[in-house]
Amino acid sequence: MFSQIAWPGEWVFDFEDPKQADHWKVANGTWEIQKGVYAEISAAEKAAHTLFGEADWVDYTVEAKIRIDANKWAGLVFRAISEYEYYIVYPEPTPGVSAFFQHHGKEWATRARPKPNKTQIKGKIQVGNWYHLKVEVKGNDLKWFN
């Protein structure tokens, strides 16, 4: 679930207008805007995600409000080349860490490294609560904040 994206041209999405979903490319899953939230509603897909932006973007910042439902995960995809090649950062309720993956290849489970980089999060991630996630991309320098 995403709420805001900013770059030099600044794109801001509040998802009050269902037509805002037209700016996003669904990689997999069933997505729709419901009550101001852009959400994956089927829970039937692995690694369901939707993409915004262009593969040639180099320097940008992405910010979003996310909510984890049913002890699953929700995160922020960035530097996406395709629906199979991208970076993602997301908080995990159990064990309370922030995980960073680089996906690549022709299937959802293919990663650059088999295990993600994980860092401990201050405080506890509560299922059903909203959290602010931010990623800064500058050349090859990637920073994330949660």
pLDDT score at 7: 47
User: What is the CA 135 to chain-centroid distance, rounded?
Assistant: 10
pLDDT score at 113: 64
Q: What angle do CA 110, 145, 96 make, to 5 degrees?
A: 70
Q: Report d(CA 13, CA 15) in Å as an integer.
A: 6
Which of these ranges, 62-66, 77-81, 112-116, has the smallest mean pLDDT?
Answer: 112-116
pLDDT score at 65: 92
Task: Give the predicted TM-score (pTM) of the model.
Answer: 0.78
pLDDT score at 38: 92
Average pLDDT of the residues in 116-141: 85
pLDDT score at 81: 84
- Average pLDDT of the chain is 82
Residue at token pair 């996630």: 133
Domain boundaries, the chain: 4-145
Per the model's pLDDT, the better-predicted residue between 146 and 23 turns out to be 23
Q: Of 2.60.40, 1.10.8, 2.60.120, 3.90.1720, which CATH number belongs to 4-145? A: 2.60.120
Closest CA to 65 of 22, 125, 4, 137: 4
pLDDT, tens only, 35-77: 899 999 888 877 788 888 888 888 899 999 998 887 677 889 8
